Amino acid sequence: MSTIYFEDIGVGDKTVFGEKKVTLEEILKFARKYDPQPFHVDEKAANDSIYGGLIASGWHTGGMLMRMMVDNMVNQRAGLGSPGFDDLRWILPVRPGDVLRFESTVIETRRSTSRPEMGVIRAQIFLFNQNDEKVLSVKTIGMMKTRSA
């Protein structure tokens, strides 16, 4: 497969992939290390919480999103990393057994004026669950090499 450069990406471009199955074991393992709040690590406490059951750490959902991106997008691109992202929202809880699907739409492409060998791609990303409900929304910022530089 040929590498994708900045010039190959246009506003409105849509990328869809999945599935990522979320397991109880993975939820517990991540949360015990990085987010040991009761509703992430303790099934009994989670059942009694406002969430009505164990849910994934939001940072874990972000990690799963990242892994889906690396496996399906990042490795095909002349990427230069990311300075961050905007407007992350955990819309609905992610629960054991959920199956996540990824959808990205490019909202802005801009060549760097200070570094013409680089372009910036902004995208609106959603994660959906198996019921086609949005569980996560985030606007990403990715830097890519330009083909012409």
**Chain positions contacting its own copies, by CB under 8 A:** 30, 33-37, 39, 50-51, 57-59, 62-64, 66-67, 70, 74-75, 80-90, 137
Sheet of 134-145, strands arranged across: 14-21, 99-111, 118-128, 134-145
Query: Among residues 15 and 51, whose Cβ is nearest to its own copies?
Result: 51
- Cβ burial 71-96 (10 Å sphere, 16+ → b, else e): eebeeebbbbeeeeeeeeebebbbbb
For residue 90, the minimal CB distance to its own copies (Å) is 5
Query: Among residues 106 and 138, whose Cβ is nearest to its own copies?
Result: 138
For residue 124, the minimal CB distance to its own copies (Å) is 14
For residue 34, the minimal CB distance to its own copies (Å) is 4
Q: How many CB atoms lie within 10 A of CB 121?
A: 23
